[in-house]
Amino acid sequence: MKTIAILTGAGVSAESGLSTFRDNNGLWCNHRVEDVATPEAFALNPKLVQDFYNMRRAQLKEVRPNSAHLALAKFVAAQKHKVFLITQNVDNLHEQADKAIGNSAQDNPYYTLIHMHGELRKARCSVSDEVFEWDDDITTETRCSCCNLPGRLRPHIVWFGEMPLHMDLIYHALRDCDLFISIGTSGNVYPAAGFVQEVRMNGKGHTVELNMEPSSGHNIFAEKLYGPATQVVPKYLAKIAA
Ligand code: OAD
């Protein structure tokens, strides 16, 4: 049994119909990061920020996992390897795929799923930091479930300038893994962009990039396979499943 750390980014969800950030017509082409994805933006214009995440949360009711998410879920469910899946994505397509395959992070001792940039389907009290499951829109009038006051709930999303979640666990997995696979990420945003370097400098794992095109850090990976995630992910996982 190998220990495998997998990092996913927006490219794994692109063929499900969710926009990436930096491709043509990506989310950051149509919105300025500093208007919708910083604590300062939320303080200045909470409605604009909530509307941006409300729109993205609502999309989750319509999108379905693609064959890359499903291949990952099947790979994990087989329990032949220990998988530490780190996603930068705030969508729930890995969870949807797990559900479709009958895989569950709670019942599978060889599977950990971490949303390092938070989750659209959760909200957080900005005073107590308590986190709630959240499927609906949040408005400036929505009352927080813990303090019952309006204006305190924020999306459970890591904004620019904030610390990504569960970094201790992630660095431990990167140093410990036999194989690190990076899927559908452009390698522009740290700390995730530095994970491959961490494995190479402080770990022992073989490093593989599966992406539509070479990422910013492509030179650091030992092995690369380029193409749509729905093709390259099932193909690569089939190769290593045995
Ligand atoms: P990007 O939009 O920066 O990069 C997406 C990558 O996916 C690009 O390298 C594309 O070539 C690739 N791609 C596009 N379609 C693909 C497909 N069908 N199959 C395979 N690859 C495909 O998205 P991320 O790298 O995920 O953070 O962005 C990282 C972070 O930047 C996000 O988590 C978000 C953003 O700002 C926060 O909001 C904190």
Q: What is the pLDDT of residues 184-234, one digit of tens each?
A: 999 999 999 999 999 999 999 999 999 999 999 999 999 999 999 999 999
| Local confidence band at 31 (pLDDT 50, 70, 90 cut-offs) | confident
User: For all residues of the chain together, what is the average pLDDT?
Assistant: 96
CA of 187 to the centre of ligand 1 (A): 8
Instruction: Return d(Cα 75, Cα 216) in angstroms, integer.
Output: 27
CA dihedral for 85, 33, 197, 229, sign (positive or negative): positive
Ramachandran quadrant class, 130 (left: phi over 0; alpha: psi -120 to 50; beta: rest): beta
Q: What is the mean pLDDT of residues 50-63?
A: 96
Percent of the residues in the chain that have a pLDDT greater than 70, as a whole number: 100
Percent of the residues in the chain that have a pLDDT greater than 90, as a whole number: 91
CA of 81 to the centre of ligand 1 (A): 26
CA of 25 to the centre of ligand 1 (A): 12
Cβ pair 154, 126 in contact under 8 A: yes
Atom of ligand 1 minimally distant from the CA of 21: 2
Atom of ligand 1 minimally distant from the CA of 215: 9
Atom 2 (ligand 1) nearest CA:
21
Residue 136 confidence (pLDDT): 95
How is residue 105 annotated by DSSP?
T
Find the angle CA(9)-CA(231)-CA(216) to the nearest 5 degrees: 40
190 Cβ neighbours under 8 A, 6+ residues apart: none
Residue 28 confidence (pLDDT): 85
Residue 63 confidence (pLDDT): 98
Nearest to 50, CA basis, from 128, 23, 58:
58
Atom 13 (ligand 1) nearest CA:
11
Residue 105 confidence (pLDDT): 83
Q: What is the mean pLDDT of residues 123-133?
A: 95
Nearest to 3, CA basis, from 216, 148, 178:
178
Q: Is pLDDT of 242 > 80?
A: no
H helix or E strand, kind and range, residue 225: strand 223-226
Q: Is pLDDT of 4 > 80?
A: yes
Residues contacting ligand 1 via CB (< 6 Å): 9-11, 14-15, 20-23, 26, 37, 88, 117, 158, 184-186, 188-189, 211-213, 215, 228-229
CA of 33 to the centre of ligand 1 (A): 15
Residue 145 confidence (pLDDT): 87
Instruction: Return d(Cα 87, Cα 189) in angstroms, integer.
Output: 13
Cβ pair 113, 95 in contact under 8 A: yes
Cβ pair 41, 49 in contact under 8 A: yes
Please give the positions annotated as active site.
Answer: 117
H helix or E strand, kind and range, residue 198: helix 195-202
Residue 30 confidence (pLDDT): 84
Atom 8 (ligand 1) nearest CA:
186
| Local confidence band at 104 (pLDDT 50, 70, 90 cut-offs) | confident
Higher pLDDT, 87 or 107: 87
Residue 139 confidence (pLDDT): 95
Give DSSP secondary structure letters for 151-185: T-EEEEEPPTTSPPTTHHHHHHHHHH-SEEEEES-
Residue 25 confidence (pLDDT): 83
Atom 32 (ligand 1) nearest CA:
88
> Which segments of 187-228 does DSSP mark as H helices, in order?
195-202
Name the residue of 19, 23, 27, 235 whose CB sits within 8 Å of the most ligand 1 atoms, as the mutation to test its pocket: 23
Ramachandran quadrant class, 161 (left: phi over 0; alpha: psi -120 to 50; beta: rest): left
128 Cβ neighbours under 8 A, 6+ residues apart: 146, 147
Q: What is the mean pLDDT of residues 25-31?
A: 86
